[in-house]
């Protein structure tokens, strides 16, 4: 008898390679619309943009800022570093999201792994903190859509990971129990800690060490020399380096 029936996946940087795809979408947006001066190196801009965007998303998850502030300030603040001002920040964001939606890069063997899990009868779902206008398009354009029964988008639900309300809603909507469900994601703060606090098993996708763990958790994992920790009684936290490693756990 298998341990889980329902598998809940994060999307960005868990299945869909956000790091690579966002870079391609940004380069395309800036070049197509002649936004960056020719004297500016794209890598210099993108490094600053990533730092600002990450900080703003953290504030958004913490409910300190609204979506409108995020989409304006991530461009106004990063582009102002290169002397650009008074641009239509919302339009730049719209063009960027359009280009994001058509990127199709997935982590290696993602489709094959999902196919195996589906053939075993697992019911799979998405819980994502992305914006509604782009997340469903991503799923459709990169061939992921058919694997998932339900898709839960934070903006549509007006709550986001790591808050317990989004996990409660997802389990209730799928008629799933905590004990027979598991969450898979790349972010310790939003995916793993959120599901852990909710009382649900989780799998942290490390991507060969590119996805960071808190130092305290990393030291526990290394000292235990284990791919599984019990950070709360009877709640299991697993660690994988590649998406196909899911097969060894599920």
Spatial CB neighbours of 54, under 8 Å, sequence gap ≥ 6: none
Spatial distance between the Cα atoms of 178 and 235, rounded to a whole number of angstroms: 10
Of residues 100, 113, 124, the one with CA closest to residue 9? 124
Annotated active-site residue 10? The verdict is: yes
Of residues 227, 180, 168, 226, the one with CA closest to residue 203? 227
Of residues 221, 3, 205, 228, the one with CA closest to residue 113? 205
Annotated active-site residue 245? The verdict is: no
Which one is catalytic: 12, 17, 201, 245?
12
Count of C-beta atoms within a 10 Å radius of residue 49 = 21
- From the number of C-beta atoms within 10 Å of its C-beta (0-12, 13-18, 19+), residue 197 rates as middle
Which one is catalytic: 10, 17, 191, 245?
10
Residues with catalytic function: 10, 12
């Amino acid at each position: 008898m298998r341990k889980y029936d329902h598998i809940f996946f994060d999307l960005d940087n868990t299945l869909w390679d956000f790091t690579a795809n966002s870079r391609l979408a940004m380069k395309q947006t800036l070049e197509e619309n002649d936004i960056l001066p020719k004297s500016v190196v794209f890598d210099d801009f993108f490094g600053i943009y990533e730092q600002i965007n990450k900080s703003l998303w953290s504030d958004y998850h913490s409910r300190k800022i609204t979506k409108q502030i995020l989409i304006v300030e991530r461009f106004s603040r990063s582009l102002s570093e290169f002397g650009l001002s008074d641009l239509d920040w919302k339009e730049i964001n719209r063009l960027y999201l359009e280009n994001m939606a058509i990127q199709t890069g997935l982590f290696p063997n993602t489709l094959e792994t999902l196919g195996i899990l589906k053939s075993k009868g697992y019911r799979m779902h998405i819980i994502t903190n992305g914006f509604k206008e782009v997340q469903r398009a991503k799923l459709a354009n990169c061939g992921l859509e058919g694997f998932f029964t339900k898709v839960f988008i934070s903006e549509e639900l007006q709550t986001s990971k790591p808050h317990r309300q989004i996990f409660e809603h997802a389990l209730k909507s799928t008629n799933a129990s905590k004990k027979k469900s598991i969450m898979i994601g790349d972010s310790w703060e939003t995916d793993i800690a959120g599901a852990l606090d909710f009382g649900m098993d989780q799998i942290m996708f490390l991507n060969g060490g590119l996805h960071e763990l808190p130092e305290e958790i990393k030291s526990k994992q290394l000292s235990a020399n284990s791919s599984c920790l019990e950070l709360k009684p009877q709640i299991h936290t697993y660690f994988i380096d590649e998406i196909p490693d899911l097969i060894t756990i599920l």
